[in-house]
Chains A and B, each alone.
Chain A
Amino acid sequence: MSAPAEAALDALRKALGDGLRSCALDGGTLRLQVAPDALHQAALHLRDADGLRFDYPGDLFAWDTGERFVVVYRLWSTTLSQTALLRVELERDGAAVASVTDIWPGMNWHEREVYDLYGIEIVGHPDAGDPTRMRILLPKDWEGFPFRKDYVPVFSGDPLHGPQETN
């Protein structure tokens, strides 16, 4: 890792303080874990700091460990040719995370998908607060979040309509 990158990471450590849970370089991949409230600041720093410039939104997804949700932002730097994995862990009750659509517009639909499948609120998303506009893969009136571990599909009784009545 280059000196400016080290400096940028040091600056990040300083800026976030406790918010930065861990930060390590693992086989060419930068792995970071931040507190949920520090996410937006960290993301902005990762994109804009000299020596990092993670300008390419690779991916954004979540999974359910059973106890909490893990949200991972996979970022890529077109100048460094390096990947960063920015990780946030959320409590299941009232899980919410700040939107990064303003930083990387390409994260818009990924965030909608995270809401759609896991029910994690995306604070500050252009469509936030309107479930009918946030839903992306599922029908807009779908109830529940099917990728959660505790999701129980409700069978509508009609095999042609799948688990839920949709329109």
Chain B
Amino acid sequence: MTAMQPAVGASTSSDMTINLGPQHPSTHGVLRLMVALDGEYVKSCRPVVGYLHRGLERMMAARPYRQSVPFTDRLDYCASLNSNLAISQAIERIGGMAVPERAQYLRVMLCEMNRIASHLIFFGTYAADIGATTAFLYAFRERERLLDLLEAYTGARLTCNWIRPGGVASDMPEGYAQAVCAFLDGFLKELDAYDTLLTGNPIFRVRTEGVGIISPEKAIAYGASGPVLRGSGVNIDLRRTEPYDAYPRTQFDVPLRTEGDCLARYLVRVEEMRQSARIIRQCLREMPEGEHWGKQPKVFRPAAGEAYSRTESPRGELSIYLVSDGTANPVRVRVRGPSFVHLSMLPELVRGVKVADMIAILGSLDTVLGEVDR
């Protein structure tokens, strides 16, 4: 009789291993999850990444410093300007460049615009993950307007490559401030409508409340960052704790939730969009006249040494570590993407939950595979 009893945790005949991905509607890119299911319950999950591995770190290390900026566009393609900022800061630190004040404000404005665009993607795809298709399209409608604005400034919609070591590639076009303000007015109104449509929806609430809880201790031990960390009640925002560029001169609240569940992470992101709008307005108002581009050495050969920058990308801590040996090319460019870390938490988070919850948890981590695989 005992021989028939399966050991606890061992696979039984009712187990089923399914592959979610690499082609699957909910994996947001080429991610593969090998999931062992017991009926509707997840017994274990092993993410398989690397389908998008391009060796970007090595490619950047094989080129002069300033040429590595366009590669960072391809890291987190939903928020390319934030990646541009991270590498630019690292290069500025290793080469000792100064950034003019106006450029700092322009950078912050661009990054926050991109943060809104990125969070809108999260909003839309998360709604689609939970099953609400209409909210998805509404979010993309607003994002489209925002991308038009980015296009008017930088000439590209996704891979902007406009924040460079030493400043910003160009100043704003004429009448840009008014256009951005007009967008923000409409956007905040739309955001309230989305709140009514999705946040207030009881079905959305029961699907996300109490699902995928990350305790603050676990979030820290795993190195979670950004909205995932702040959704767990840890008040760490690098724009505050290690301020850079014009952030020390802007006022904004850091949204914080203590529940640590999917809903908390969602609400943090939605509130961050409002705060980003606030920061953009302040930037436009307080931006001083001046240069958008600092003084730059013609040949860039930083002294041997190391430098790193930590920035708050929409997904969390995006940091770049540069190692120089005094030549024109870096020895090592290390990109620490928040999505990579968040995805590594997934197996622990989804153990024992239902398939549908697994999708909700994966969506709430908001990973971008371009950054995971690099």
Contact = CB atoms under 8 A, between A and B. Distances in A.
Touch test A–B (CB under 8 Å): yes
Contacts of B308: 74
Interface stretch (B18-26, B252-260, B328-336): B328-336
Nearest to A62: B332
B236 interface: yes
B58 A147 contact: yes
Given A106-B344, A137-B50, A61 B241 contact: no
Interface in B171-221: 220-221
Contacts of B242: 81
Interface in B317-331: 317, 319, 321, 323, 331
A58 interface: yes
Contact of A72 (B234, B321, B341, B345): B321
B53 interface: yes
Nearest to B345: A106
B58 A104 contact: no
B55 A146 contact: yes
B334 A59 contact: yes
A106 B221 contact: yes
B223 to A, nearest CB: 3
Contact of B221 (A74, A104, A109, A146): A104
Interface in B236-250: 236, 241-242
B336 A63 contact: no
A104 B334 CA distance: 20
B222 A105 contact: yes
Interface in A33-82: 55-59, 61, 63, 65, 72, 74, 78, 81
A139 B321 contact: no
A86 to B, nearest CB: 13
A81 B241 contact: yes
Contact of A59 (B220, B224, B319): B319
A155 B190 CA distance: 53
B56 to A, nearest CB: 11
Contact of A104 (B49, B223, B348): B223
A74 B57 CA distance: 17
B220 A55 contact: yes
B319 A106 contact: no
B321 A59 contact: yes
Interface string A131-160: 000011111000000110000000000000
B340 A109 contact: yes
A164 interface: no
Nearest to B343: A109
Nearest to A63: B332
Given A74-B321, A81-B241, A139-B50, A146 B334 contact: no
B312 interface: no
A127 B97 CA distance: 43
Contacts of A137: 49-50, 53, 373-374
30 contacts: A55-B220, A56-B223, A57-B222, A57-B223, A58-B317, A59-B334, A63-B323, A63-B332, A63-B334, A65-B331, A72-B321, A74-B319, A78-B220, A78-B236, A81-B242, A104-B221, A104-B223, A105-B221, A106-B221, A106-B222, A106-B223, A109-B341, A109-B343, A136-B49, A137-B53, A137-B373, A138-B53, A139-B50, A146-B55, A146-B58
Nearest first, the 9 closest Cβ-Cβ pairs linking A and B are A106-B223, A63-B332, A106-B222, A109-B344, A137-B50, A57-B223, A59-B336, A137-B53, A61-B334
Interface of B: 49-50, 53, 55, 57-58, 220-224, 234, 236, 241-242, 308, 310, 317, 319, 321, 323, 331-332, 334, 336, 340-341, 343-345, 348, 373-374
Given A106-B224, A107-B223, A138-B53, 8 more contacts: A57-B221, A59-B334, A59-B336, A63-B331, A63-B332, A104-B221, A104-B223, A137-B49
